[in-house]
Amino acid sequence: MATTVQRPGGAYVQRSSSGGLYEVIDVILDKGLVIDVFLRVSLVGIELLTVDARIVIASVDTYLRFAEAVNRLEITGTEQSEGLPQLMQDMTEGGAGNKTRGVLEGAKESLFGSSDDDGDSREGSRSRAGSDRRSK
C-alpha cells in the first residue's frame, strides 16, 4: 500500500495527502491528546531520529561544513556570466539536492521510505545514509 499520495497541483510544491506517514511522524509522536501516565511507546528505532536531529545544532563541525559550502560556491559565484535561469536549472538537475538533504530527512526516509524491510530501514538511519539511498 502506498504511504504517500501525491496530490495534483503546482510543480513548485511537493504535496502529500494525509496518508503520508513520512510527513506526519513528527505530529503523531509529539502532538495530539495525551495522558502521560497512559503513554506506552517503545521508541526503539525512533530515538535515532531524535539524536540525529540534535546533531545538526550549532557545532564546530557545522561551521566547517558551512565554510566549505561557501568556499565551494565562490568559485562559480564569481562567474557573473552565469544567468539566474541557468543556475536554477543546474540546481534542479544537479546532484546538489541529494547532498544538501538534511540528516533528519534522510533518516526519516530510511525508516519510512520505499523499503519494506524494517531491518534494512533501521540500518539506514543508523549509518545516516538516508541521502545516499535516495540517489540509488
Instruction: Determine, following the binding rule CB under 8 A, whether residue 83 of this chain makes contact with other proteins.
Output: no
17: CB partners within 8 A, 6+ apart? 4, 5, 7
Task: From 57, 96, 103, select the one nearest 73 (Cα to Cα).
Answer: 96
Shortest separation between residue 58's beta carbon and other proteins, angstroms: 6
Indicate whether 132 belongs to the interface with other proteins (CB under 8 A). no
Task: Find out whether 61 and 112 touch, Cβ atoms under 8 Å.
Answer: no
Q: Using an 8 Å Cβ cutoff, are 133 and 113 in contact?
A: yes
Assess 60 for contact with other proteins (CB under 8 A).
yes
- Establish if 51 lies at the interface with other proteins (CB under 8 A): no
19 versus 127: smaller Cβ distance to other proteins: 19
- Longest Cα pair distance anywhere in the chain, in angstroms? 63
Per CB under 8 A, 111 contacts other proteins: yes
Residues in region 30-49 near other proteins by CB under 8 A: 30-46
Instruction: Tell me which of 13, 79, 81, 119 binds other proteins, using CB under 8 A.
Output: 13
Using CB under 8 A as the binding criterion, the count of chain residues that bind other proteins stands at: 71
d(CA 124, CA 106): 9
